[in-house]
Structure 1
Amino acid sequence: MFWGSLRNEDGKLIAFGYITGPGIEHGYLEDVIIHSHYQGKEIGKELVKILMQEAEKQGISIITVIFQDKHNEFYEKCGLPLARVVFGEGNRKECLAAYSRKR
């Protein structure tokens, strides 16, 4: 498991995310959280980019992420070519998405 975070000038945590898994070639991108005052400034996009780069360094070529459907646009903006499966209804709708570097 590895994680990334960012603190503001006062030392308060404003962004966090991590990738976990068995460490073989598959990992799970989880809990990408950006403080509401800092959303829309591409901090989350950069955090995902850094986490994905670290995953590649560690030989993790398949990343799975589960997120609420309302966050789909965020992950698309991160540039992840996601294969999505949507489940649930209404506000409880979630997506299971996988990204693979394998060709």
Structure 2
Amino acid sequence: MKKLESTYRNQGRWKEAESLQVQVTETRQRMLGEKHLSTLKSMEGLALTVWNQGRWKEAESLQVQAMETRQRVFGEEHPSTLRSMGDLASTYRDQSRWKEAESMGV
């Protein structure tokens, strides 16, 4: 499912990719738990697909949830947490939310 979703995403077939990503994320949450790295990666992939459709608030919500979970599980300075923070900073920047982007980036 993940590979098919990736194919759809690479073809710009956002709705089809999103549908599969939701299924993959929900399955991973159920089978692996919300704190598992694969679950968090799926959530961030879903956020990217939503972002590519211009649905900024939904993307931001998913990114915040993934980042906060990474902070709790891995700690503030873990590379995985820092990458999530950078992704969120980019989302803020793309919405011209300069202060929030700067704060998150710092």
Name the TM tier (shorter chain): 0.3 to 0.5
TM-score by length of 1: 0.35
What TM-score does the superposition give when structure 2 sets the normalisation length?
0.35
Q: Which has the higher strand share?
A: 1
* Structure with a larger share of its residues in helix: 2
Name which structure has the greater RCO, CA cutoff 8 Å, separation 6+.
1
